[in-house]
Amino acid sequence: MAAPSPHPFDPLRPDEIARAAGIVRPHFGGQEPNFRVITLLEPPKKLMIAYLENEHQNQPIEDVPTRHARVEVVVKGRANENQLFELYVDLGNEKVTQKQHVKGKHSYIDANHMKAVEAACLADEGVQAELRSLNLPAGATPVVEPWAYATDGMNDMSTRITMCWFYLRLLDHPDANYYAYPLDVCAEVSEDLKVTKIYRLPTNPQERIHHEKRPFDRRRIHPADASEYHPELRPASRTTTKPYQVVQPEGPSFRINGNQLAWEKWSFRVGFNYREGLTLHDVRYEGRSLFYRLSLAEMFVPYGDPRAPYPRKAAFDLGNDGAGLNANNLQLGCDCLGTIKYFDAYHNTPTGEPLKMPNVVCCHEQDDGILWKHTNFRTGNAVVARSRILVLQTIITVSNYEYIFAWHFYQDASIFYEVRATGILSTAPHDINAKERVPYGTVVAPGVLAPYHQHLFSLRIDPAIDGHNNSLVIEESTPLPTNDPKVHNPFGVGYVTESRTVEEEGGFDLDFTKNRTFKLVNEKQINPITGTPVGFKLLPFYSQMLLASPESYHARRSEYAQHAVWVTRYTDNDHFPAGKYTMQSAGGDGLASVIAKRRATGVAQSVRDEDIVIWHTFGSTHNPRIEDWPVMPSEKLMVGLKPVNFFSGNPGLDVTPSTQEKNQSVLYTGESAQSATCCQSKL
C-alpha cells in the first residue's frame, strides 16, 4: 500500500530525506558532504493560504506546494577548511533550486566533532600532565565537557574553537554526577583537534587571571547522597508516595490522523524539526483560524560570571544545539501519565540517511481542576464543569540541563505554553578556602560554585486571527483624571482602557503596573456584540531581560533579549530571532538588526493589518538555590494566549457539567473517622 502523500506541513519523511541527500550529493564534485541538516523547507505562506482555505472548505486543492528540503552540508575547501553550504531542494522536480556558500558562519554543533574534541583533549599530553598535577583521588575519572565557544572577541571566529571544561567522576558508576566535582583545569581545542591552550580556572572571587597549579583539594569530597541523583548511588527513596493512576475507560478524547490532531473543538498539525523541535501549524478552534504557526524559536543561556574564561559560557540551545535533535525518547509511565500518543521524528545521519528519533513528542489529556462554576445563591444549585486539557510535550537534554516544553490546549479556547527547567546546574570550581562570598554564584557543595545565569526564550507566534492580516494592539488600564472638568469622574474611582495599534516593526516592554496588554487583533473582523475587533491576547511571562551590557557580545548575539514583545512583518522561513547561524556568531543578525536594516531601506515596514509575527522573549534570571542541586526541581514558566472578544461567549460553556458518575471519585474516610473516637496522638 502506498503511504498517503504528506501534508505540506508534515516534516520530511524518511524517503524524502534520503531523496534530498541523493539530489544534493552530486553538487560537490564527488566529495561526500557532511549532511548537517535535511529538513522541510516549509511551503510559501502565499501558497498555503489558498491551500488551507480549500482544505478546510473541503474543496479540491489545485496548487499543492511541491515538497522542498532545506539542506545544510559541510564540505572541505582547498585549504581543508570547513565550508558551509545551504541548499534548497525541490523534491518533486528532483533538483537543487538554490545553493549558497555561507561564508563566515558555522552550522550548529556537530556531535561527532565534539566527541572527537573530547577524545583529542583527553589524549593530549599537556592535558594529561595538567591532570597529573591535580593529584586526583585514585579511581576517579576526569570527564571532559566540551562547549561551543561563546564569542568574546578574544579569538578569530572563522574556525570552530571548543572550550573543554573538566569534571571528575569520583564514583565508579557511569551515571555518577561529575558536575559535583568541577576541576579548575580548562583547555581549548581547535577545529583540527589540536589543544591550543591549557590553563587553570579562577576559583576565588579575587582571582582575575588563571591561578597557580593547586592539587585537587580532598576536603571537597563529600557524601554521595548530597550530589548524586541516580537511584543506584543514593540511599533508598521515599516510599510515602502512593500510586496515582489515570484511567480513561473510553480512551482519549483526541483524534489523530497522521500529523493532524483534533481534540474537542481544536484542530492543528504537529510539526517537528531539528532546531525548534515541536512546531504547531494551522491552529484552529471550531474551524476558525487562530495561528498559522507556533514554535519556540530560540533560547539563550548566558552566564554572569565576569571572570575569564567564563564569559565564553553562553549557549544558544536551539541555534547551536537544536531542540529537535536533543529531544528525549519519552517513556510510557515516566514522562506522561494516562493514555499517551507518541510522535516520532526523523533527522539525518552525516551521510544523508534518515535517522529515526522515536517518541520525541507525547500527547495526552489532563484534568485541570475547575473550568467554571456557579452556584445560584438563591436556589443553592451549583453547576460545575471540570477543565480537561490536551498536552503536547517534548523534553530536551542540553548537556547538563533539561527543558520540558508543553503546549496546553484548553476547552475555553486558550492556549498555554509551559516551560519547565530541570536537570543539573553547570558548575564551576570554587576555592574551598575562599572567605569572600561570590557575588555571582551560589556554593551548592564543597568547592562547587553554581554560577548565576539567565535563560532567555523566544516564543514565535505567527497569528492568523480570523485571517492572515492582523495587528498588534497595546492596551493599558488608566485611571480617569480627577481634576479635568471635561471628564466625568466625581468619585475618583473611574478607569478606562487606552489602546494604540502598533504601526511599525519594533520591540516593546511589559508593564504590569499599567496592566499593559498585548492583543493580536483582526481589525477587519468586528465582534458583532462587543463592537470591537476580534483578537487574542498574550499572557506574558514577566521576567528580566538580558543583564549583559548592550555592548557585550552576549547582547549583540541575542538581540531578541532586549525586549519582551517584538512584532515583525512575516517573511517565509524567518524563524531565527538571533540569526540563522548562532554558532560562534558575532551578532548583528537578530531581530533588532533585521528591523533596523529594513527600516534603513526607507521602505516603512508597516505591521498594521498585515501578515505579522509576534516574538515573546521571556525567561528567568537563574541565581541558583542550593535546592536546585544536584537536580533542579522543575522551575515553571508559563505563557498564555487567550481569546479576547473573539467568540460570542465562553467557548467552554457547553462542556458537560461534572458528575460523580463519570468522574468516580472516592470519599476518604480513613484516619479522620478514627480520630473522632480515639485520643489525639502526634502524627
Is residue 306 at the binding interface for a copy of itself, with CB under 8 A as the rule?
yes
500, burial (CB in 10 Å: exposed 0-12, middle 13-18, buried 19+): exposed
HEC string of 364-390 equals: EEEEEEEEEEEECCCCCCEEEEEEEEE
Site string for a copy of itself, 511-550 (x = CB under 8 A): -xxxx-----------x-xxxx---------xxxx-xxx-
CB of 138 or CB of 491, closer to a copy of itself:
491
Active site residue 285: no
From the list 461, 459, 456, 391, the residue with the least C-alpha distance to 421 is 456
Q: Which residue(s) pair with 423 in the sheet?
A: 401, 632
Is residue 81 at the binding interface for a copy of itself, with CB under 8 A as the rule?
no
Give the one residue of 76, 255, 524, 597 binding a copy of itself; rule: CB under 8 A. Answer: 255
Which positions from 571 through 600 interact with a copy of itself, judged by CB under 8 A? none
Which range binds a copy of itself by CB under 8 A, 97-105, 233-241, 271-279, 349-357?
233-241
| In the complex, minimum distance from the CB of residue 433 to a copy of itself, in angstroms, rounded to a whole number | 13
Is residue 321 at the binding interface for a copy of itself, with CB under 8 A as the rule?
no
334, burial (CB in 10 Å: exposed 0-12, middle 13-18, buried 19+): exposed
Under 8 Å between Cβ of 363 and 31: no
Please state, in angstroms and rounded to a whole number, the distance separating the CA atoms of residues 273 and 11: 7
Give the one residue of 78, 103, 378, 486 binding a copy of itself; rule: CB under 8 A. Answer: 378
Give the one residue of 65, 304, 324, 354 binding a copy of itself; rule: CB under 8 A. Answer: 304
Please state, in angstroms and rounded to a whole number, the distance separating the CA atoms of residues 239 and 406: 29
Active-site residue (options: 401, 410, 417, 452): 401
Give the one residue of 129, 258, 573, 596 binding a copy of itself; rule: CB under 8 A. Answer: 258
CB of 139 or CB of 223, closer to a copy of itself:
223
Q: Using DSSP, state whether 167 is helix, strand or coil.
A: strand
CB of 326 or CB of 470, closer to a copy of itself:
326
Is residue 457 at the binding interface for a copy of itself, with CB under 8 A as the rule?
no
Site string for a copy of itself, 105-144 (x = CB under 8 A): ----------------------------------------
> Residue 320: how many CB atoms within 10 A of its CB?
26
Give the one residue of 64, 116, 308, 586 binding a copy of itself; rule: CB under 8 A. Answer: 308
Is residue 376 at the binding interface for a copy of itself, with CB under 8 A as the rule?
yes
- Hey, CA dihedral for 502, 503, 509, 511, is it positive or negative? negative
CB of 10 or CB of 589, closer to a copy of itself:
10
| In the complex, minimum distance from the CB of residue 466 to a copy of itself, in angstroms, rounded to a whole number | 15
CB of 4 or CB of 139, closer to a copy of itself:
4
84, burial (CB in 10 Å: exposed 0-12, middle 13-18, buried 19+): buried
Site string for a copy of itself, 36-55 (x = CB under 8 A): -------------------x
Is residue 335 at the binding interface for a copy of itself, with CB under 8 A as the rule?
yes
Please state, in angstroms and rounded to a whole number, the distance separating the CA atoms of residues 568 and 587: 19
Please state, in angstroms and rounded to a whole number, the distance separating the CA atoms of residues 558 and 552: 10
Which range binds a copy of itself by CB under 8 A, 28-36, 39-47, 189-197, 618-626?
618-626
Under 8 Å between Cβ of 619 and 588: no
| In the complex, minimum distance from the CB of residue 76 to a copy of itself, in angstroms, rounded to a whole number | 28
Is residue 245 at the binding interface for a copy of itself, with CB under 8 A as the rule?
yes
Is residue 484 at the binding interface for a copy of itself, with CB under 8 A as the rule?
no
Active-site residue (options: 10, 124, 184, 317): 317
Write the DSSP string, 13-44: PHHHHHHHHHHHGGGGTT---EEEEEEE-PPP
Is residue 334 at the binding interface for a copy of itself, with CB under 8 A as the rule?
yes
Is residue 384 at the binding interface for a copy of itself, with CB under 8 A as the rule?
yes
Is residue 675 at the binding interface for a copy of itself, with CB under 8 A as the rule?
yes
Kindly state the number of chain residues that form the binding site for a copy of itself, as judged by CB under 8 A.
203
Which positions from 388 through 427 interact with a copy of itself, judged by CB under 8 A? 388, 395, 397, 399, 402, 404, 406, 410-414, 420, 422-424
Please state, in angstroms and rounded to a whole number, the distance separating the CA atoms of residues 290 and 281: 10
Active site residue 401: yes
CB of 208 or CB of 213, closer to a copy of itself:
208
Write the DSSP string, 60-125: --S-PPPPEEEEEEEEE-TTS-EEEEEEEEETTTTEEEEEEEETT--PSP-HHHHHHHHHHHHH-H
Which positions from 171 through 230 interact with a copy of itself, judged by CB under 8 A? 174-175, 208, 226-227, 229-230
Please state, in angstroms and rounded to a whole number, the distance separating the CA atoms of residues 397 and 489: 56
Please state, in angstroms and rounded to a whole number, the distance separating the CA atoms of residues 86 and 90: 13
Is residue 337 at the binding interface for a copy of itself, with CB under 8 A as the rule?
yes
Under 8 Å between Cβ of 189 and 195: yes
From the list 467, 476, 71, the residue with the least C-alpha distance to 289 is 467
CB of 576 or CB of 629, closer to a copy of itself:
629
| In the complex, minimum distance from the CB of residue 51 to a copy of itself, in angstroms, rounded to a whole number | 13
Give the one residue of 62, 103, 601, 660 binding a copy of itself; rule: CB under 8 A. Answer: 660
Which range binds a copy of itself by CB under 8 A, 40-48, 128-136, 440-448, 587-595?
440-448
Is residue 80 at the binding interface for a copy of itself, with CB under 8 A as the rule?
no
Under 8 Å between Cβ of 189 and 164: yes
Residue with cell 496592566: 515
Amino acid at 36: R
User: For 512, phi and psi rounded to 5 degrees?
Assistant: -70, -20
Q: Using DSSP, state whether 234 is helix, strand or coil.
A: coil
CB of 328 or CB of 605, closer to a copy of itself:
328
Is residue 604 at the binding interface for a copy of itself, with CB under 8 A as the rule?
no
Is residue 497 at the binding interface for a copy of itself, with CB under 8 A as the rule?
yes
Give the one residue of 79, 247, 600, 603 binding a copy of itself; rule: CB under 8 A. Answer: 247
Is residue 488 at the binding interface for a copy of itself, with CB under 8 A as the rule?
yes
Q: Using DSSP, state whether 126 is helix, strand or coil.
A: helix
CB of 23 or CB of 395, closer to a copy of itself:
395
Which positions from 272 through 301 interact with a copy of itself, judged by CB under 8 A? none
User: For 180, phi and psi rounded to 5 degrees?
Assistant: -75, -10
| In the complex, minimum distance from the CB of residue 102 to a copy of itself, in angstroms, rounded to a whole number | 27
From the list 555, 565, 619, 546, the residue with the least C-alpha distance to 593 is 555
The residues assigned a catalytic role are 317, 401
